[in-house]
A and B are shown apart, each in its own frame.
Chain A
């Protein structure tokens, strides 16, 4: 006798490796043992090597390019300039403004001027050195603020230096009557240096000319279809003839959203009729991708004596460098989330994105929100000090929650436990005090033995941030998944095919987990990502669990429905209470009806689905109002640091984080995201900066662009909350970016607490602390 109160799991054993578990990643062992094939490992019989000639000047006219000698070198197959681009000569993610190869002028140091294909990489490099370019060097535009506001500043592009200005207004922040209600006012000017994504696998790929006149490109990227959309017009080919397959990606963090070597390798392959491989060197890579926008930020906050925010203003100037890349979207985030997760009745935000002759800036983990978070959290600490209030109490008092609106007027219609994560992060146990005679590796300076405790002062600081998840501002964002179910070798087996880029985040693992859970089977194969299936959108904006996860779930549901129809037909009876558990078709009322294998027989069920998140709106151009975001995510950090106040060296002793993810899909991968995001925020706080002087990069190497080591990144305490978002698949919330936002201000707040210094710029350098 069956009971309707029993769950399907009571009838059959659920499979392992589904949603909520941490199955081993398929690429894990290969990566650890060094056997994983990255895009730089690609090889083709008879292939050529491409190399790029780059401008040494940030701004110059090109009076002439002489390729004669380079072309005449033995082993050289082609030397191409902009004249050889068969189709559209420009590309761009949001604004088509970047030349495939420089035309008559260069706008940044490192801009590609010509490309060479040769039978050996060294020959290609030598040929590049033989190209003679006649430059008329011009004074570069290097100050973003001046680029936007000074009418006498030279224009980097004909249309001017403003990429986007987005104002956001609520209430009347400039009304003197409003301002008069504030008992305490704090102002601050902040600066964020240019951070690099510092992925370990440099830009690389292999273009293979095809018999149909098209090209097959194997490349490390974040979004195959947006590459295809930009490449095809430049190559003068229909999109169907530009086929992309994802090659092994050695990290991304936003730096692979734009084209790099893709178009050059394709041009060379089509011209020579031979496969062409390109791999950037580490130094070239610093010039080969966009960086995080440096920012200058001016803030003012007014509050009552009790600590209620009355008004706030923010001006954020983001340096987009020579080409737009994703600057418009970065401005969108910096404006809409520019004052953070706080209830502010009267506010005015202005975010600007500028063209300059500095290195181009675009996507990097948490874009727009990272820069603003450092400023608004610094302001909250400053305000708390002015009010003589606990900084966490001040934040909790003003934190938004479900039912509130954000600065753009968008209602928060999902759980928003800002106050709870702040309370929880504060309540976490503190690390023990430093002991006398501590190992130098636990002290500032580490193995370099600069202190045995002298000058070391401990500080504690907090930070919280808010980030939008998925693409915003009215963009038609979707992902496609194809799922095929059939019996293979007597076992039910599913194949999942999407074009979504696995960039190290573990999406390959998650897609299989979702298929296992939805189809109740163990065996799932993930097909390589390519453009033979519809777009999955970008592996960015913390969106792939939501979007491609959502698409795989949807396609599995379609497969399941078809299977249930098949089951009903085979069993000769309609059932409306079926589910798939442990390879069996289970009726809630009648228990196990049949094995999946028997229901399927020789049938192949093959379903493709597009998943869309709910629609969003563009911000209105004058007051920046509109429901522009899909979902909000949040994380809070507490940083405990030891600062050697005499030498200005910092040891982050511990980072504690509380994050709400709606639903934990893979605990291990999630922990990795929180660790990694926090580490990237730590890097921005204390060491990571591309130093640019007069438009030129001074430290294009891992010798001088420092990223945290294991002695810099402390152990973490992590607590994860699961307040489900009713709009999202499984109730999940994107998780990759939020930890990157709040760790930076938390660490800087802790350094301020230890030193008593205002510290308005990141990364904090030793001389900022010592004053020398």
Chain B
């Protein structure tokens, strides 16, 4: 197995073009586990930890541009107030050691349906920035996941960053696992309110072949929420929202849980997180739409 360790993005893209079957490694928290379990023997590894520009983030106009190599621990520490949903999800990733190594870019590269970062990225309309020697392009997150552990990258492309607007409203994330820490999601859910445009974003994890949004639930809720008021939501609204989120899922029975349980848990998480974001909304501080 070849081990490629470029020091610049230009070199990394050249290496990827030359070795399209090289597997990129960021934190190694997915790839090295696969190697250890002998599930994968790629002809080459492309270690991106030497590429400094991938580990940077900065505001870019109205959005934040966050390098693919920024680890979860920095997302929590440096971006927690601007991306609260992603930070909540990041806190549920592995152990402190894993959060120091693992990156959102790696999560996107693995494109596991259970990736913890995916639901909040879906809920807040993130855009994935990818590049190759042919140039760069931006892929909306809803078009990024193409199948179980498959994404929209061409063989010569690398994920360079993701772009996401700072929270313009309350965000929440919840994940069910059968242990109270260090656990892969049985299913997970993210919600983001966008009061300035009277919109709702959602993300459903580990309950379909790919992470996905729940569009019918979003539409229902955007129409039902009394945006301008501080009214408590009716049980009928939260319950219906939960049902619509659950019906957006297409889960399976597996070693981590049953399909029925996943649907049930999604509806509970959707109800609860909705209650939390709405309460936060009512407590004020976020701009409202007309």
Report A's interface with B, CB cutoff 8 A. Answer: 125, 281-283, 441, 444-452, 454-455, 646-649, 651, 686-687, 691, 698-699, 701, 703-704, 706, 708-712, 765-767, 770, 772
Q: Is the CB of A450 within 8 A of B272?
A: yes
B-side contacts of A770, CB under 8 Å: 261, 264-265
**B177 within 8 Å of A by Cβ?**
yes
Q: How far, in whole Å, are A686 and B180 apart by their CA atoms in the complex?
A: 11
Using known A-B contacts A283-B37, A647-B268, A766-B257, determine if residue A452 contacts B276 with beta carbons closer than 8 Å. Answer: yes
12 interchain pairs, CB-CB under 8 A: A282-B36, A448-B188, A449-B174, A450-B272, A649-B176, A651-B180, A704-B255, A712-B181, A766-B257, A766-B261, A767-B258, A772-B260
Q: Is the CB of B256 within 8 A of A772?
A: no
**B23 within 8 Å of A by Cβ?**
no
Q: Is the CB of B261 within 8 A of A767?
A: yes
Per-residue 0/1 for B173-191: is the Cβ within 8 Å of any A Cβ (1 yes, 0 no)? 1111111111110101000
B-side contacts of A445, CB under 8 Å: 174, 176-177, 180
Partner of A448, one of B176, B257, B276: B176
Q: A448-B181, A703-B33, A767-B258 are in contact. List 16 more A-B contacts (CB 8 A).
A: A281-B36, A445-B180, A446-B181, A447-B92, A448-B180, A449-B91, A449-B174, A646-B268, A647-B176, A649-B178, A687-B179, A703-B184, A704-B184, A704-B255, A709-B179, A711-B181
Q: How far, in whole Å, are A445 and B177 apart by their CA atoms in the complex?
A: 7
Using known A-B contacts A283-B37, A454-B272, A706-B183, determine if residue A448 contacts B261 with beta carbons closer than 8 Å. Answer: no
**B122 within 8 Å of A by Cβ?**
no
Q: How far, in whole Å, are A448 and B185 apart by their CA atoms in the complex?
A: 9
Q: Is the CB of A706 within 8 A of B37?
A: no
**B48 within 8 Å of A by Cβ?**
no
B33 to A, closest residue via Cβ: A703
Q: Is the CB of B173 within 8 A of A281?
A: no
Q: Is the CB of B38 within 8 A of A125?
A: yes
- Considering residues B92, B173, B180, B272, which has the most beta carbons from chain A within 10 angstroms of its beta carbon? B180
Q: Using a Cβ cutoff of 8 Å, how many contacts connect chains A and B? A: 108
Interface size class on chain B is 35 or more
Min Cβ gap B155→A in Å is 26
Q: Is the CB of A706 within 8 A of B178?
A: yes
Q: Is the CB of B181 within 8 A of A709?
A: yes
Using known A-B contacts A704-B256, A772-B264, determine if residue A449 contacts B92 with beta carbons closer than 8 Å. Answer: yes
Using known A-B contacts A449-B173, A450-B269, A772-B260, determine if residue A766 contacts B179 with beta carbons closer than 8 Å. Answer: no
Min Cβ gap A463→B in Å is 21
B260 to A, closest residue via Cβ: A772
A-side contacts of B91, CB under 8 Å: 447, 449
Q: Is the CB of B255 within 8 A of A449?
A: no
**B263 within 8 Å of A by Cβ?**
yes
A650 to B, closest residue via Cβ: B180
A-side contacts of B13, CB under 8 Å: none
Partner of B175, one of A450, A454, A710: A450
A697 to B, closest residue via Cβ: B255
**B88 within 8 Å of A by Cβ?**
yes
A-side contacts of B272, CB under 8 Å: 450-452, 454
Question: 6 closest pairs, A vs B, by CB?
Answer: A446-B180, A711-B180, A772-B264, A448-B175, A711-B181, A767-B261
Using known A-B contacts A767-B261, A772-B264, determine if residue A448 contacts B37 with beta carbons closer than 8 Å. Answer: no
Q: How far, in whole Å, are A709 and B181 apart by their CA atoms in the complex?
A: 7
A283 to B, closest residue via Cβ: B37
Q: Is the CB of B255 within 8 A of A699?
A: yes
Q: How far, in whole Å, are A424 and B101 apart by their CA atoms in the complex?
A: 47
Q: How far, in whole Å, are A125 and B260 apart by their CA atoms in the complex?
A: 40
Q: How far, in whole Å, are A698 and B36 apart by their CA atoms in the complex?
A: 18
A-side contacts of B172, CB under 8 Å: 449
B-side contacts of A708, CB under 8 Å: 179
